[in-house]
Chains A and B, each alone.
Chain A
């Protein structure tokens, strides 16, 4: 471990110990009381693991625990934005993976990655200029788990990311911090079925002209599942572009949370941002909380957000029933259609099929 990295980890430990585990009194954690969900045990200091299923050719990897890890690891690890819990993963995760796609390499085969075990883990992914990769992320149901992921995209690099998790009985939190150079592109889909407390937080810095981030996600929550997706996209340079589309269905005592903040820095003229979050509540005890936030410091921008929470459209339901479709089937059809909208963002057909399957199963259990 380099001295610089050791220092970063020490700082992270000090910051985390100073702040402690966030409670709902922290505004960003208002809808996800991590401290009370974890109880006495807290996050612990165990180390979880990252497993990859087959290493596609052209991809370099290093073990974060390896004291002789290559220079690019300590150059990037722990340098991106951190929140309260990723301070902890940086401080306590003993291992984890670092992956690099060298400049100009396009990796054709998707990389399958699984997060496993309870505890803290760290992942670093570097795509150098012009490189491209497709990442498929899954995770087991071990809890509590705290994953800190850093993704660095060089100029013109492109990353396609799909995350599909299973319903988790415990607490899982994950923070993904990204930095995008000019013309880099990040496209991601997050399918979530919740946990006792489940939170994914993305901090995306569009650092270069023309960088783009496109996010979408679906959540299907039943029982007492909670799923929080919190995003913060920072348009630091001009002509940057971001879109977000999140669809949520909550039944039982499910609780769907979306908090999305878009910041346009001073001088980032030509920034364009679209943000949509919609939720459907299926029971008297379900809850949805949406907070789409804009923070604009430049005038030549196009920024909009829309949010809606509601019931199925009565007219559509009537139309289907008038054609002899039983009400339950008609409702199911409309709910599938509501979510399908957000799945179209997944570019690979095989991956989209897997996500659609998981959504189908979760809905079947709910309806």
Chain B
């Protein structure tokens, strides 16, 4: 039943096994922007990437706007003031010319990928997944390009899209998350290093799952990814995003922006497994993850589905949202957020119902352990023209131990009498009888916790593509090791 690719995925996941093993740093010469943030930094990045004038202007406008903005403070996360001048905004592997084949790629890079479990050499066999691997800020290898070309799908690094498809980029960039949207999105607009661009033409069902592995490597380098996915009428695309980062003491800032556009009858499925370094048991280090993700169901009968498994990062500030503009459009949000030790997660979604007969569904599972704080923050808003709109929301929290916190902050707004919104939330702990039952049958405590928590998360895990589901289940267990007893 299992293909070699699936077996391999399983083997890799088994290797992740015992503990967070990505705590290593690859020693590759970096091409750095000078430390600090100024117009010069922005110009440097733009010049490094050989960008056209319009792109530079766009970045500069964002930067000037950013200078006048204030850092948002409303989320339930606490961290020391970030010194934006004390970081590097651009780092690229030195050997940068585009490669024709994997053989030309720096062997040290390949080694890093292997430790990460992304065997570029084996990708052809890996369950039909094309990988556009991002090493720090520059994409170094893209495969399966030919097959995608045949279908007419554009799947390339963002910098390449600016060069080769400027009209598409100009038409859609910043139309879902405007430059002025929020502090971190504006910062990203000014200094984004690279990212992924996907365009699926009319009537095309993307022949494979698209996947990008993000990787933060250089010390003190924030990573500012930019992703733009456009699904033209009647098309379908499934996109997978997974993340790991090496162990570092200093907090690293990550402020990504993801924009999705679905036109008439198009569907985008976006899945994320995020297991960046969460800091140690004492809350030292870890990634700051301030992400703006938004999808625009611009066309009638379009659909955008977000699935996320958030286990890493010291601080998560992330609200993948859907603007249901087209009539009969559908938005979905499936989320697992695990916070252990001193992690803080403030995550949720917004479903903005503008069109008639729009539907949305939110399933959120929050798990808190150790001294962590986990918050679901969401908005469901039905506008006057959203006749017969429907929403169903379920937010469940699981607490492990008496020193953590689980919070739910849903906003529910309706301005249409024919709309129906339902919201339910519960808070519970791991039932002692369940744990006892497992222990009594010889299942060790950690495994039992993993089993019970996986059961709690089942509805969300089911939404993940197979390649991710295996890894995610394992991660759920790893993230909570030692949290009970």
- Name A's B-contacting residues (CB within 8 A): 27, 266-267, 269, 279, 281-311
Contact = CB atoms under 8 A, between A and B. Distances in A.
A294 B414 contact: no
Interface residues of B, number: 35
A24 B190 CA distance: 31
B434 to A, nearest CB: 14
Contacts of A295: 405, 407
Given A289-B411, A295-B405, A303 B421 contact: no
A301 B421 contact: no
B423 A282 contact: no
B419 A309 contact: yes
B422 to A, nearest CB: 5
Given A267-B402, A291-B412, A292-B410, A283 B417 contact: yes
Contact of B409 (A281, A293, A297, A300): A293
B26 interface: no
A258 to B, nearest CB: 9
A305 B425 contact: yes
Interface stretch (B34-42, B270-278, B285-293, B393-401): B393-401
Interface of B: 74, 382, 384, 397, 399-429
A295 B407 CA distance: 4
B423 A299 contact: no
Nearest to B397: A296
A262 to B, nearest CB: 9
A307 B423 contact: yes
Given A299-B404, A301-B427, A308 B413 contact: no
B403 A294 contact: no
Contacts of A298: 399, 402
B238 to A, nearest CB: 32
Given A289-B411, A303-B427, A306-B422, 20 more contacts: A281-B416, A284-B417, A287-B415, A291-B410, A293-B408, A294-B397, A294-B425, A296-B397, A299-B399, A301-B427, A304-B424, A305-B423, A307-B422, A309-B412, A309-B414, A310-B419, A311-B417, A311-B418, A311-B419, A311-B420
Given A304-B424, A308-B422, A311-B417, A290 B412 contact: yes
B427 A308 contact: no
A289 B139 CA distance: 45
A27 B414 CA distance: 18
A73 B415 CA distance: 46
B402 A308 contact: no
A294 B74 contact: no
Contact of A307 (B384, B397, B405, B410): B410
A126 B255 CA distance: 53
A284 B384 contact: yes
A289 B413 contact: yes
B427 A292 contact: no
A305 B408 contact: yes
B408 A294 contact: yes
Given A289-B413, A310-B421, A299 B408 contact: no
5 contacts: A292-B423, A296-B407, A298-B402, A301-B427, A304-B424
A296 B412 contact: no
A234 to B, nearest CB: 14
Contacts, number: 114
Contacts of A279: 414
Nearest to B426: A304
Contacts of A284: 384, 416-417
Closest 5 CB pairs of A and B: A299-B399, A310-B420, A281-B417, A303-B427, A294-B408
Nearest to A297: B405
Contacts of A291: 409-412
Nearest to A263: B407
A311 B386 CA distance: 14
A307 B417 contact: no
Interface centre among B409, B415, B422, B427 (most CB of A within 10 A): B427
A304 B425 CA distance: 5
B409 A309 contact: no
Given A296-B405, A298-B402, A299-B404, A306 B423 contact: yes
A361 B407 CA distance: 40
A292 B422 CA distance: 12
B413 A299 contact: no
Contacts of B401: 299
B402 A307 contact: no
A267, A281, A294 interface centre (most CB from chain B within 10 Å): A294
B127 to A, nearest CB: 39
B414 to A, nearest CB: 4
B339 to A, nearest CB: 13
Contacts of B413: 287-290
Contacts of B424: 304-306
B414 A281 contact: yes
B421 A309 contact: yes
B407 A307 contact: no
A300 B416 contact: no
Contacts of B428: 302
Nearest to A259: B411
A18 B421 CA distance: 39
B32 to A, nearest CB: 40
A286 B407 contact: no
A223 to B, nearest CB: 16
Contacts of B419: 281, 309-311
Contact of B420 (A296, A302, A309): A309
Contact of A287 (B414, B420, B422, B429): B414
B410 A293 contact: yes
A306 B392 CA distance: 11
B420 A269 contact: no
Contacts of B426: 303-304
A304 B406 CA distance: 12
**B407, B410, B414, B418 pick with most chain A CB within 10 angstroms:** B414
B452 to A, nearest CB: 14
Contacts of B414: 279, 281, 287-289, 309
Nearest to B421: A309
A297 B397 CA distance: 12
Question: Of A298, A299, A306, which is in contact with the most chain B CB atoms at under 10 Å from its CB?
Answer: A299
Nearest to A293: B409
A85 B241 CA distance: 48
A269 B402 contact: yes
Nearest to B407: A295
B402 A304 contact: no
A94 to B, nearest CB: 38
Contacts of A302: 427-428
A293 B425 CA distance: 9
Nearest to A257: B413
A304 B423 CA distance: 11
A289 B404 CA distance: 30
A27 B74 contact: yes
Nearest to B391: A309
A282 B405 contact: no
B338 to A, nearest CB: 15
Contacts of A296: 397, 399, 405-407, 427
Nearest to A251: B417
Contacts of B400: 299
B365 to A, nearest CB: 14
